[in-house]
Structure 1
Amino acid sequence: MVQKFRIIMPLIACILASACSAFSTESAIVGRWQSPTWTFSREPVYAEFETDGTLTFLTPMGQHTGKWKIMDNGDLKVTYHSGSSKICKASVSGSTLTITPSSCMLWNDLGSSVALEKQ
């Protein structure tokens, strides 16, 4: 019985940590985030994540809308207005949101990742 307990408890802890991580990222990502360095047509690159899952972001082609969701494994899923979607990593540290790869937000010219500051 003790042996089963030793196996089950770490498994439960791992599952809870994963769920908490996804929830933590989901609540932390809500709001408007803006690049301190990158601009398109003189407007700062930005992404705005609404609590209802709506996403608005600026690309070289103008403003785009879509939906966002933090998946169970903590990845960010972005579904564009066209219906296609991409999955990327999103991490929040203090007032900085880092998205990898930046192409997830159609920011293909900004390098492999982009850091945005909370507004």
Structure 2
Amino acid sequence: MHEAPNRTARREDRPRILLEMQDRLEVYLDEPGRYLPTLNVVNGSHRQQRRERRMACVQLLRAMLSYLDLASQRIGIPQRDGGFMSLTLSFLARHACRAVRWAERAMRDLLHAGLVTAQQGP
């Protein structure tokens, strides 16, 4: 994975489905068992996931959706030459205005819940 330039597509330039997904993540914060039950129980407990942890996952997902290429279903930036620049977790953490360690925990939850997949860079 390469480090992407610090730029974001303007909200109005993003596909509507991605904007809708980002907006709908808000409901998970209030009713986690109803909207993303696999993420809610990723901690192995019958208790509801803590709100701070839910917020971390939602913020990381929103950052990922900001850079989701619908055609390839990958997080990154398509290049003019046909290549694709993948993004690092540290880049996504900065985009979400959080520390890398925080993003690592949220990513682990998202992976265990089966909501995302990830590949290690070279």
Larger Rg: 1
TM-score normalised by length of structure 2? 0.32
Higher relative contact order (CA 8 A, sep 6+): 2
Please, what TM-score do these two structures have when normalized by structure 1? 0.33
